Structures are given as C-alpha cells and as structure tokens.
Chain A
Amino acid sequence: MGIKLKALTKSPWVYHLSTGSCNNCDIEILDCLTPRYDLERLGIVLVGSPRHADALLVTGNMTMKCMKRAKEVYDQMPKPGVVIAVGTCALGHGVFEGSYVMPKTVDEVLPVDIYIPGCPPKPEGIIAGVAKLLEMLKQKA
C-alpha cells in the first residue's frame, strides 16, 4: 500500500459527488478550480468519472435516493482512495436534521477520511482541508 499512497499524494484527482446538497458547497468546490484559488497548481484536478479519481469530494445530505448511487460511485473508485466530506450537511444534517428522507449521514454510508465544516466552507477552507489530508497520507506512506 505504501507506494500507492505515496503516488496518490503527488497529484490527487478528485471526483465531485453531490448527494442532495443546496449547491453552495458545489459552487465553492468549482470556485477552488478557477483562477483566484487555482487548485491545479497543487496538482489537484477535477475529473468527470469516478473511475479516474483518487478522492471523492462528497457534499450534501445523503438523501435516500442518492444512497445507493453514492455507494456505486465509491465502489467504482480505484483503491486506495480517500473520501472528503464537505460542508455541514455532509458532516451531520445541519438545518435539515429530523427530515424523514435522510436516515443516514454521509459517514454512515461511505468511509470518510476527513471532514471540512462550514455552510458552505470557504475555498480557503477546502484547500486547507485537502492539504492537511495530503500531509496525513504522506506520513502514513
């Protein structure tokens, strides 16, 4: 596993998975890729398919209808891979707590490695979170 994890930290490709969010976190993730924040300078690229991805950026409440699809997406991601939960909804349910369509949180469905709080987290926060994760993986490798 060591060499694979080390390789992963060089240029992680991320797939963005929205599981019933309000769009805020999704916009901020896209914002990270645009010139002001420019995540690509760190080698992080947003890809269109989970099969190419090293990391899943999960946003949203994990609604019932999304649960099965989210698991499928996770299974398609090559391992080792990491799961990053972005936003308050993905951490718990935030303001939607108690809704009858969200029996589980994201971390009960997918093995989350790192949580980035905020409603929505600022792009700086997302970048800091990803950087911390990379640091963690480097030590593990």
Chain B
Amino acid sequence: MSEIIPIGPYHPLQEEPEFFRLHVEGEKVVKLEIELGYNHRGIEKLAETKSWDQVVFLVERICGICSTSHPAASTNAMEDLGGIEAPERAQYIRTIICELERIHSHLLWLGLAGHFIGYNTVWMWVWKYREIVCDLLDKITGNRQSYAMFKVGGVRRDILEDDIPWIRASMDKLKPVLDLFKGAVMDDPVIRARTRGVGILTNEMAKQYCVVGPTARPSGVAIDVRKDDPYFAYGMVDFDIVVLEEGDVFAKAVCRILEMYESVKIIEQCIDKMKPGIIDLKIKELPAGEGIGRAEAPRGEVYHYCLSDGSNFPARYKVRAPSYTNIASNEVACVGETVADAALVLAAVDPCYCCTERLVVVDHDNRREQVLQGNTLIQLSHERTKQIRKELGV
C-alpha cells in the first residue's frame, strides 16, 4: 500500500500556492499528482476586455520572474498579426532586456536551489550578486521588475549613451561571479553526489511531454526559439545553445549556469552593434487576422496566439507558458526517487505557477487537514545533504 504525502498549498518549499500529492511506498515515490488552480487570475478572459496596448501590460503581470518574456511573445504575436517590423535599435534594446532577465532569473533559481539542498550560503551569495543585474534593469527601465519596456512596434525607453560604459563595466563585473558559481556548483563533491543521476528525464520522455527550455536541453533536446525562429536581434548576434545529455538535476543546473555566459556574450554584442535611431513606430491600429508569437523565456518557450476581428480588443488571446509543459514532466521525473530527492526534482524545472495558471479559479472545499504540513520536506532534504557530507568526509 502506498501512502500519500501532501505538499502545500502553502509550504516553505514554494513561493506560490500549489498542491502536490506524493504517493510513496516506504522511501520511494511511486506516483505524483499535481493539483492546480490556486493562482488563476482569469488572464485569457481578462485580455479580451483590454485594448491591444493594455494587453502588453496585462501579460507582463502573468509572471514576475519572466516579466519580459510574456510581453516579448505578445509583441511578437501582434507584430506577426499586423506584419510590422520594429526599428533595429528597438530590437537591440529588447534583446538586451530579455538577456538581462535571463541572467537574473537563472541566478534566482540557483540561489533557491542552493537553499533547497541546505546551502544557504549559496543562496545569499547568489542573490547578492544578482543585485548587479537588478541595478542595471532599474537604471535602464526604471523598475527592478515589471519593466514596461515593450510595445507594438518598438520600445518605450531608449538606452542612454551615458549608461553604456556602465553597462559594460557591470558585464565585466558579472563574469568573475559566474566563474565563481560555476566552480561552486560543478566542482563541489556534495552537490554532485546530491544531484547526479537524480530525477532523470530521458530524451524520449522529454519529447513525449513536449518540454521546453532548460528542462529539455539537458535531456538532449536541442530546442531554443532564439536559434530556431530568431526574433528581435537574435538573428544578428552570435551565441551557442547549451545542450547536455544526462537529463538529471545536475545537468539542469549546469545548463543554466552555462547559459548565463551566453547571455553576457549576447548583451556585449548588442551594445557594440547598436546604432542611434528611432525606437518606436507609433502603431495605432491592428488589422483583423491571426498572430502567433514566440519568445524564449528563462524557463523555455513562451507561446502567444491572438485573434483579432479588427476592433481595438483581441477576440481571443491564448497564452502557453513554459512551465505548463515542464511541470507535467515531473510526473515521470519524480517516480522512483526518494522523498528527500523529490523536493529537489520538483524545484529543478524552475516551476512557475503563476504562468501555468492563467485561467480560472473556483472555490474548492476539501482536505483541510492536509494543508500546512510545516517544513518537513525541506528538512529531509537538508538531512540528506548532511548525510552525504558525512559519507564523503567533507
């Protein structure tokens, strides 16, 4: 007989409310059930009541961590609908913002992952250096999160010439930091022992579940919208996509760290290639028709579909966030792992529930006794790390 361990909806492991049920036999997880719905805000329906310009602000607030990816996909979709191409300088600025966000998001994940395995030092250090990126975004866009930079046919704010030396200096400051984290994660025997071979998502399963981004690439699926369907300035800069074969938690961490180097490379090229010019086409209307926009968020491909009937409001707006497919893959990645490792596997896809649950919420009266189980799971994870440290004699 298997037992059920409930996690959530309010749980110290998670920032957002969501609910998992782990079915366990002894120490082994045999099945995972995921219950969604705590974070639905009815965004797809709300989008039909907003004008095209307002939709960009609305989708920006789907998720705070990828708050540029959704507007990016959204503007891509609307520009595809109207056959619009934004000016070159705007494309470079958009690319810079997108890549800064990728670095900030990956650092954020790395810090939280460190916290989950009981390395709070990693958390504090990573988040300390993440402030470099936050400062850059603050200076360029005026806000640390939710940048409100994108609009159909351009961007809202220019990057000032005076800021460019400072952006370059910040990038130079970031490189040794990345080296530090690369060493800290890849050479640490405890982190290796704790994450190698854990939560493997095979190449075949990755394709079946249609996962995207840094959940798919460590499983040997070479997919990246920036390369496959170049948008913004990605067609004009040189970068590599990071593909690994193992598919375990370690590979996912390494993939994210190596990707940050590529992001730094892209930002530096954009700054070099950027020429003065207009940044906004001042689009007033969009025709009737359909548009599809894609963007590579830190977690994978964001997909927006919009349908216009020629009016000022979308007739239908569909959002597919990367976590929507990635979370479902936990159903296979968790099975066969111990309970202590399951927490890590769940966190390894960098799940983002506010993205996944854009739709509808309804009240749900159940399982009062199962909520708020304290932080036992995180404690289990910490104990496991301690045990490995002892075995390794570190």
Contacts and interface: CB of A to CB of B under 8 A. Distances in A.
Q: Do A and B bind each other?
A: yes
Residue from B111, B352, B362, B365 with most neighbouring chain A CB atoms (10 Å) = B362
B183 to A, nearest CB: 20
A22 B45 contact: no
A22 B372 CA distance: 22
A20 B17 contact: yes
Interface pairs A-B: 6 shortest CB-CB: A24-B64, A23-B64, A48-B12, A34-B127, A101-B361, A48-B375
A23 B18 CA distance: 13
B365 to A, nearest CB: 7
B64 A27 contact: yes
Contacts of A76: 372
Contacts of A25: 64
B371 interface: yes
A95 B40 contact: no
A73 B10 contact: yes
B124 interface: yes
Contact of A69 (B17, B125, B146, B362): B17
Interface in A67-107: 67-69, 72-73, 76, 94-96, 98-102
A122 interface: yes
A133 to B, nearest CB: 22
Nearest to A100: B42
A120 B146 contact: yes
Size range of the interface on B?
35 or more
Size range of the interface on A?
35 or more
Interface in B1-60: 9-10, 12, 15-17, 37-43, 45-46, 49, 54, 57-58
Contact of A66 (B38, B144, B145): B38
A125 to B, nearest CB: 11
A99 B368 CA distance: 27
Interface of B: 9-10, 12, 15-17, 37-43, 45-46, 49, 54, 57-58, 61-65, 67, 108, 111, 123-125, 127-128, 131, 134, 144-146, 352, 354, 360-365, 368, 371-372, 374-375, 378
A68 to B, nearest CB: 7
Contacts of B37: 65
A34 B127 CA distance: 6
Residue from B41, B43, B45, B49 with most neighbouring chain A CB atoms (10 Å) = B41
B40 A20 contact: yes
Contacts of A63: 38-41, 361
Given A73-B10, A120-B64, A120-B145, A18 B16 contact: yes
Nearest to B105: A27
A61 B41 contact: yes
Contacts of B361: 20, 63-66, 101
